[in-house]
């Protein structure tokens, strides 16, 4: 295939040289990339490509270092579309090739008659986890139908893309529509499969890549605006719309959620499917275990004396007291949770006396197989998607309007009070004016801006940290207003940093078994082992951070992980070579060091004793038979971290602890968690219940304030 394209480029250049382009000519072509349309502007002089400009500025996937200049140089060097691309950014690299090809087509006057060959076409492309297949019907000049016929990416999350992308492409008659936020890889797969179908029909993709334009939309007025429809945002909106018991009454308030993703639920939609219940629910009845709110809170305050300055015991108690009403209210309305799923777990983050029992619950994640959360580790099939789906239904049924793919960009302030929020969807920007605004945008993220602003030392080496759900909107806005953030993150004891490929492939793919479960030698960028590599948990992830944020798993052709290499290599994460020297060259580690490390490792394996890190020989995998493989494994984070805005006892945002509340502005969930974080930090299930209850508390405060006004 590559050879054919190269041949095509030579042909085009020959055509250009001999015909209309003896004079220098500049031509443009475009193709949809991961998150934007990529444009290639190429100057051809005397049959040679003399200048290339690539606009890849919209590609911010955070997976690779994508720079237009580097890619443009590759096009110049290759004198065509046959470029290596950027490691870890396959979709973007493919789009650059397509855009260059399309501009060369234009230069050669090789655009055909612009008509499609009518028919039905089928193509397959790789999504976030699995391949996805699309069927496209076309007439001579119109796309008449797009159907996704096979898709197995995360339930609920990917459905948003499957529902919205075909409709959007049909409406715009373009493959260059925006990806559905939060389901970027599934969206890109749909776009790629449809592009492939159009090319089979004889299309020049440039003709089908009209971009969406964002225009001024209609401002709206509501009583309550919740920014972020994740775990806490959904319950905050529900409480504002109903009553303290989340019962079937309508408070009469007009409540709206703006949610950046194409679906609601935030991190709950991709969470492990665990939820804790401390007292007062059918889960506690089932296990016979309870911890009352006041016992729990006083015990947590004793356990965390180092945070006495920031913690607010009174607020924590009010939130803890709401955990039973929150769960009971939701279960009564059909929340995906049943008492008999509960179990008793133990946590050392409840009491200074030592491990303490508490009730948590996994869920049946797949009713057909009876598979439960945890059967596959933290998996998107773990039940979180069902939590998010049923909670979203409940909130919709209560009459809350959710505006999806609508990102808050700025708070609107008036004389120190917050009166609205500027928002943008993929077509319009406008302002939502509200009497009360609740920030429920989640824990601080690991996007590059957040790391630079708040965490340069502790997390400078974290790789692949951007998710739509964690971009620190609340934290950044309050900092911009001159406020302080409440930083209680603890890089040593917290579990946020784990091993992974990047944020998208980390938890979700079958390929994670390589670094989670399979034996193999880990080396750092110097080609040296650095730890007992039988451990693949948080401790090893922290050691990977110390090595610069990444390491390589080295294995040979007999290793079980070979089956994942093709896919990982497409994502710029795997390499292979016939010799260790070549492999070392490819991953840019010193060859001598790698050869010597492998030699020592193999000898130790033979002797049955790891002389360096004491890894059990049973957990080693000697590297002996060529070809050899290296897979890059990073220290990553998929969740978020406890850097929160300050609130008062009514969840109103303050610029500093004990400062004056900002009128109308509230926070809950991870965004406001600093003063009650131990409640969300107990162990499996405590994050979701703590965030839900804090949302209900904020929603109650807002409802009562408005009704009493």
Ligand X SMILES: Cc1cc2nc3c(=O)[nH]c(=O)nc-3n(C[C@H](O)[C@H](O)[C@H](O)COP(=O)(O)OP(=O)(O)OC[C@H]3O[C@@H](n4cnc5c(N)ncnc54)[C@H](O)[C@@H]3O)c2cc1C
Q: List contacts with ligand X (CB under 6 A).
A: 227-233, 258-261, 266-268, 270-275, 378, 407-408, 440-443, 468-469, 471, 473, 507, 638-639, 669-670, 684-688, 691
Could you check whether the bond before residue 627 is cis, i.e. omega within 30 degrees of 0? yes
Question: Shortest distance, CB of residue 324 to ligand X, whole angstroms?
Answer: 16
- Which residues, other chains included, contact 519 with Cβ-Cβ below 8 Å and sequence gap of 6+? 534, 618, 619, 620, 621
Alpha-helical regions (H) of 253-382: 282-287, 293-303, 313-321, 323-332
Looking at the Cβ atoms of 333 and 687, the one nearer to ligand X is 687
Tell me if residue 616 falls in helix, strand or coil. coil
In 406-549, beta strands by DSSP E: 407-414, 417-424, 428-439, 485-487, 498-500, 521-523
Residue 166: CB minimum distance to ligand X, A: 23
In the complex with ligand X, which residue's Cβ is closer, 407 or 543?
Answer: 407
Q: What does DSSP say about strands 401-403 and 255-258: parallel, antiparallel, or unpaired?
A: parallel
Buried b (16+ CB within 10 A) or exposed e, 466-487: bbbbbbbbbbbbbbebebebbb
Pick the closer one to ligand X by CB: 571 or 638: 638
Cβ proximity to ligand X: between 80 and 442 the closer is 442
Nearer to ligand X, 330 or 523 (CB): 330
Residue number with CB closer to ligand X (183 or 275): 275
Task: Give the nearer residue to ligand X in terms of CB position, either 550 or 687.
Answer: 687
Minimum CB distance to ligand X smaller for 443 or for 601: 443
Greatest extent of the chain over all pairs of C-alpha atoms, in Å: 86
If we measure between CA atoms, which residue out of 635, 374, 380, 631 comes closest to residue 514? Answer: 631
Q: What's the min distance (Å) between Cβ of 403 and ligand X?
A: 9
Whichever of 477 and 576 has its CB closer to ligand X, that residue is 477
Cβ(220)–Cβ(419) under 8 Å? no
Query: Smaller CB distance to ligand X: residue 172 or 349?
Result: 349
| Phi, psi angles (nearest 5°) of residue 30 | -145, 165
Beta strand 220-227 with 255-258 is parallel
Q: From the CB of 698, what's the least distance to ligand X, in Å?
A: 11
CA distance 424 to 216: 9
**What is the number of the residue whose Cβ is closest to ligand X?**
230
Cβ density class 665-702: b for 16+ within 10 Å, e for less: bbbbbbbbbbbbbbbbbbbbbbbbbbbbbbbbbbbbbb
Q: Are strands 652-654 and 661-667 parallel, antiparallel or unpaired?
A: antiparallel
Beta-sheet pairing, 428-439 with 215-216? parallel
Phi, psi of 646 (to 5 degrees): -80, 145
Q: Would you call 603 helix, strand, or coil by DSSP?
A: helix
User: Tell me, what DSSP letter sits at residue 140?
Assistant: S
């Amino acid at each position: 295939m590559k050879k054919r394209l190269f041949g095509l480029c030579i042909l085009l250049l020959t055509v250009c040289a001999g015909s209309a382009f003896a004079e220098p000519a500049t031509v443009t072509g475009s193709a949809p990339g991961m998150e934007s349309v990529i444009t290639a502007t190429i100057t051809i002089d005397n049959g040679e490509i003399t200048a290339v400009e690539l606009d890849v500025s919209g590609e911010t996937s955070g997976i690779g270092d994508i720079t237009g200049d580097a890619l443009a140089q590759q096009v110049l060097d290759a004198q065509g579309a046959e470029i290596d691309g950027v490691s870890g950014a396959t979709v973007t690299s493919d789009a650059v090739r397509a855009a260059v090809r399309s501009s060369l087509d234009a230069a050669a006057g090789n655009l055909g008659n612009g008509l499609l060959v009518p028919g039905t076409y089928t193509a397959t492309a790789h999504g976030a986890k699995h391949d996805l297949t699309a069927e496209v019907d076309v007439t001579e000049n119109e796309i008449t139908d797009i159907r996704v016929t096979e898709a197995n990416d995360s339930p609920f999350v990917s459905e948003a893309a499957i529902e919205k992308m075909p409709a959007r492409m049909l409406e715009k008659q373009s493959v260059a529509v925006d990806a559905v936020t939060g389901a970027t890889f599934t969206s890109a797969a749909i776009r790629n499969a449809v592009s492939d179908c159009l090319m089979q029909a004889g299309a020049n993709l440039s003709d089908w890549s009209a971009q969406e334009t964002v225009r001024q939309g209609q401002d709206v007025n509501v009583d309550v605006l919740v920014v972020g429809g994740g775990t806490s945002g959904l319950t905050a909106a529900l409480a504002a719309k109903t009553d303290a018991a989340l019962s079937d009454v309508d408070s009469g308030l007009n409540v709206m959620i703006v949610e950046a993703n194409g679906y609601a639920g935030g991190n709950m939609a991709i969470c492990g499917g665990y939820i804790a219940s401390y007292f007062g629910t059918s889960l506690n009845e089932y296990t016979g275990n309870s911890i009352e709110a006041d016992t729990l809170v006083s015990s947590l305050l004793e356990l965390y004396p180092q945070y006495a300055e920031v913690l607010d015991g009174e607020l924590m108690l009010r939130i803890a007291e709401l955990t039973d009403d929150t769960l009971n209210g939701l279960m009564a309305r059909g929340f995906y949770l049943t008492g008999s799923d509960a179990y008793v777990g133990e946590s050392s983050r409840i009491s200074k006396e030592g491990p303490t029992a508490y009730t948590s619950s996994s869920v049946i994640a797949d009713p057909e197989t009876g598979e439960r959360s945890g059967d596959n580790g933290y998996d998107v099939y773990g039940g979180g998607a069902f939590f998010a789906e049923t909670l979203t239904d409940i909130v919709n049924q209560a009459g809350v309007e959710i505006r999806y793919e609508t990102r808050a960009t700025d708070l609107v302030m008036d004389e120190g009070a917050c009166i609205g929020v500027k928002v943008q969807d993929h077509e319009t920007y406008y302002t939502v004016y509200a009497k009360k605004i609740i920030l429920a945008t989640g824990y601080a993220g690991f996007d590059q801006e957040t790391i630079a602003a708040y965490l340069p030392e502790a997390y400078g080496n974290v790789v692949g940290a951007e998710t739509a759900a964690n971009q620190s909107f609340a934290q950044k806005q309050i900092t911009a207003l001159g406020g302080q953030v409440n930083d209680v993150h603890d890089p040593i004891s917290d579990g946020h940093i784990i091993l992974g490929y990047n944020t998208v492939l980390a938890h979700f793919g079958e390929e994670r078994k390589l670094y989670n479960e399979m034996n193999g030698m880990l080396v750092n960028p110097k080609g040296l082992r650095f730890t007992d590599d039988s451990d693949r948990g948080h401790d090893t992830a922290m050691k990977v951070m110390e090595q610069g944020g990444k390491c390589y798993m080295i294995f040979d052709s007999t290793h079980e992980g070979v089956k994942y290499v093709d896919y990982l290599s497409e994502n710029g994460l795997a390499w292979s070579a016939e010799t260790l020297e070549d492999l070392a060259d490819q991953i840019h580690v010193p060859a001598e060091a790698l050869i010597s490390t492998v030699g020592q490792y193999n000898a130790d394996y033979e002797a049955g004793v790891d002389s360096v890190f004491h890894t059990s020989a049973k957990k080693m995998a000697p590297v002996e038979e060529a070809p050899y493989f290296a897979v890059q494994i990073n220290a990553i984070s998929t969740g978020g971290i406890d850097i929160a805005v300050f609130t008062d006892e009514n969840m109103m945002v303050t610029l500093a602890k004990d400062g004056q509340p900002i009128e109308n502005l509230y926070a809950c969930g991870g965004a406001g968690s600093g003063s009650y974080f131990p409640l969300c930090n107990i162990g499996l299930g405590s994050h979701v219940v703590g965030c839900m209850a804090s949302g209900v508390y904020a929603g109650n405060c807002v409802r009562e304030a408005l009704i009493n006004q």
